[in-house]
Structure 1
Amino acid sequence: MNRLRFGSLAVAVAFGLQSAPAQQPYQVLDHWKIGGTGGWDYLLADSAAHRLYVTHNSRVEVLDTQTGAAVGAISGLKGTHGVALDDAGQFGYISDGGANAVVVFDRKTLATVATIPAGTNPDGITFEPVTKTVWAFNGRSNNVTVIDTASRSVIATIALPGKPEFPQPDGQGHVFANIEDKNSIVALDSRTKALTATWKLSNCESPSGLAIDRAHSQLFAVCDEKKMAVVDTKTGKQVGTAAIGDGPDAAAFDPKHQLAFASSGDGVLTVVDTSSGFKTIESLPTMKGARTMAYDEAADRAYVVSAEMGARPAATAANPRPRPAILPDTFQVLVIGRK
């Protein structure tokens, strides 16, 4: 995943975030404590089932989004990154990067039902509804593993031009993904299992999180240097940019209100109005390290996660940018909604 970047909100504002207008629609409504130890990565909201899936070290925590209570967990994993859900409400799929595998679980019982070998360090993962396939993007082998959900077998491995980050399907048989180390987005055809285009991003370094507006054929890629790039999925052209926080790692889109979101490690959730020139309308303080996010369209709520941090270890030749230690039992979800 994209590296953490910690900085003060004052610095973020001073160096490029647009000031929000008087109307700032979102606020932090609640904090749900998860606790435990270790790091985290992607999270995913299931609106219909009122569940939130949070990858947390060797587990996936499952919370009730109506109460914040723990439903259970999928455990026994080695290093979780992302979760994808089928469109039948039956199974979920976890990219277990530490095991180089995709783990299939029953969404009712949370029991593991299959483990499917993938590439090296599967990270971003998505379900493609036209072909009923799961796409696991492998961060260290620079390829994508395509899994048939009926047979639970690998049916294709597609080479990519660099290190993939977050993917998004368009619901019409195409899958898009950021290529972090090449500052680009790739387009893939789910029917032919082939890479069809690579689009270079302009002034958008290390793209990580990716959201999609399917109705208007637009992608929102969040990048370093506090930028969000807007790309047309039909042409690959970059049609706009927006100012966001520092050290982003996730993006989301609200089709009802035409808003794009970016969560960043400096502790800011940025809200961008996509209907009027991609203007930043809010820069909501959250919590340092809250770089990943899920958005629940039905509830119009965003969820970010973070923990309190201890001292940063001294830099070494092997680890020139060490991360601060995560304090035990401080891991939590911040619930963000309208006032």
Structure 2
Amino acid sequence: MKKIILSLIIIAYISNSYSQEYKVSKKIKITGNEGWDYLAVDEVNQHLFVSHGSVVNVVDLISEKVIATIADTKGVHGIAIANDLNKAFITDGKDNSVTIVDLKTFELIEKVAIEGQKPDAVLYDQFSKKVFAYNANSNDATVLDAITNKVIKTIPLGGKPEFSVTNTKGLIYVNIEDKNEIKTIDASKLEVIATWSIAPGDEPSGLAIDLDSNRLFSVCGNKLMIVVDASNGKVIKTLPIGDGCDGVAFDAKKKLAFSSNGEGTITVVKEQNANKFSVLETVKTQKGARTIALNKTKGDLYLTTADFGSKSKPSTENPNPRASIIPDSSVVLVVANSSKK
């Protein structure tokens, strides 16, 4: 009997140690009624940059108030933070440009026109001091010198690029959505050096990396997270996630990957070691919260969404209409670990 009781105690302890109990802890109101895409955390200044239609809202994460609005970012998609250069690089999808602003004053430094069509995701690689803007319509990456702000090369990618990460040692990884691939870019040579299939993953969007285990986490439109060995492209694990994902974040301290699913959930995946992964829990968020950013300092997660009205009827001009956004309902969800452990 004592052995049975001891076993139950051990099982309960292990279960509790893995129970993270993430939940929406608050909502930060954001002014504006347009759509959204990526968010980015400035860890040094504790600011959150939120793409929002034709502007970027900046939220102070201490006061949890909007403190600035960066204008003239038409069709904004991505924001890359370069703390060592005191710059943020913002992709403007509707006028094919990259807006560069001061991280402290939020004032415009320069707006750089690029040849790439519809820049979307963007990455700053501190190792090479380069910025990679990924162009959805021209299937390539525009590379800027982050110090001079000059375009130095366009890298053809042979497919539609989505999110990207760096290994901080000279290699860049990017999801290719319409080819179900991850491509590896050499940040010094500025060329693609590897292409890996992530089957059975289909339509990969968000991408995250564990720098310690050298594992990539690619979330896909067919409700799968694909874990990939970043050294050789081998698929290590396939895990179920929610519907409508567009982002993933990795918490290196807790060894957790978070898939943000537009259906209104976050799928939390635990990395037990470099080859063992499991779904830990599903967190309820809000419909439309499909992109995600992690505050590495505080451990909180941020997702943008709004309330939705009805959809218009399909037409020739708009065969797949989206539901309308209810005015003045845009928010940033703050998702926190409520566990005391």
- Do Structure 1 and Structure 2 share a fold, with TM-score over 0.5? yes
2:93 match: 97
Partners of 2:223 and 2:310 in 1: CA distance: 25
Q: Which has the higher contact order (CA 8 A, sep 6+)?
A: 1
- Rg (Cα) greater in structure: 2
Other-structure match for 1:195: 192
| 1:334 alignment partner in structure 2 | 333
Q: Which residue of 2 aligns with 1:71?
A: 67
Aligned equivalent of 1:146: 143
| Partner of residue 160, structure 2 | 163
- Partner of 1:113 in structure 2? 109
User: Is 86-95 or 197-206 further displaced after alignment?
Assistant: 86-95
The question of whether the paired residues in 2 share the 8 Å contact of 1:129 and 1:173 is answered with: no
Q: Distance in 2 between matches of 1:88 and 1:267?
A: 35
Q: CA offset at residue 41 of structure 1?
A: 0.4
Residue of structure 2 equivalent to 1:211: 208
Task: Report the Cα distance in structure 2 between the residues aligned to 1:117 and 1:174, rounded to whole angstroms.
Answer: 26
TM-score (norm 1): 0.92
Once superposed, what is the RMSD of the aligned Cα atoms?
A: 1.2
Q: Retained in 2: the 8 A contact 1:47–1:299?
A: no
Give identity over the alignment, percent: 39
Name 2:132's counterpart in structure 1: 135
Q: CA contact under 8 A between 1:183 and 1:204: conserved in structure 2?
A: yes
Superposition deviation, residue 207 in structure 1? 0.2
Q: Distance in 2 between matches of 1:274 and 1:243?
A: 14
SS in 1 for 2:309: coil
Among 271, 275, 279, the alignment partner of 2:272 is 275
Pair 1:303-2:299 in alignment: no
The one-letter code of the counterpart of 1:25 is E
Give the CA deviation at 1:24: 4.1
- Say whether residues 1:288 and 2:287 are aligned partners: yes
- For the pair 1:85 / 2:81, whether they are aligned, the reply is yes
Matched, 1:40 2:39: no
Q: C-alpha deviations, 1:38-77, integer Å up to 9, x for none?
A: 1000001122211100000000000011221111011122
Match of 1:178 in 2: 175
Deviation at 1:152, TM superposition (A): 1.1
For the 8 Å contact 1:184–1:200, the answer to whether it is kept is yes
Q: Please state how far the C-alpha of 1:129 moved relative to its aligned partner.
A: 1.1
Which residue of the partner structure matches residue 8 of structure 2?
none
Give the distance between the partners of 2:269 and 2:101, measured in 1 at CA.
Answer: 35
List per-residue Cα deviations over 1:223-248 (Å, max 9, x = no partner): 01211001111001111111111010
Counterpart Cα distance in 2 of 1:155 and 1:35: 36
Q: What is the one-letter code of the residue matched to 2:331?
A: Q
Q: Distance in 1 between matches of 2:125 and 2:281?
A: 32
C-alpha contact (below 8 Å) 1:183/1:201 kept by paired residues: yes
**Which residue of the partner structure matches residue 4 of structure 1?**
none
Cα deviation, residue 274, structure 1:
1.3
What is the alpha-carbon distance in structure 1 between the residues aligned to residue 42 and residue 182 of structure 2? Answer: 26
Q: In the comparison of the two structures, how many residue pairs are matched?
A: 319
Mapped pair 1:266 → 2:263: yes
Matched AA of 2:182: I
Q: Is the 8 A contact 1:250 1:292 kept in 2?
A: yes
Using the alignment, how far apart are the partners of 1:87 and 1:71 within structure 2? Answer: 18
Pairs within 5 Å for 1:14-33:
23-33=19-29
Matched, 1:314 2:310: no
1:241 aligned to 2:235? Answer: no
Q: Tell me the amino acid that sits aligned with residue 162 of structure 1.
A: G
Contact 2:78 2:122 (C-alpha < 8 Å) held by counterparts: yes
Counterpart Cα distance in 1 of 2:113 and 2:195: 27
Q: Secondary structure of 1:67's match?
A: coil
So what's the TM-score if we normalise by structure 2?
0.91
* Aligned-partner residue type, residue 48 of structure 1: V
Rounded to whole Å, the distance in 1 between the matches of 2:222 and 2:143 is 32
CA contact 2:122–2:164 (8 Å) conserved in 1 = yes
CA contact (8 A) 2:173 2:183 kept: yes
Ranges in structure 1 where 5+ consecutive residues have no aligned partner: 1-20
What CA distance in whole angstroms lies between the structure 2 residues aligned with 1:156 and 1:215?
A: 30
3-state SS of the aligned residue for 1:41? coil
Contact in 2 for aligned 1:35/1:328 (Cα 8 Å): no
- Conserved 8 A contact 2:311-2:322: yes
Q: Which residue in the other structure is 1:13 paired with?
A: none
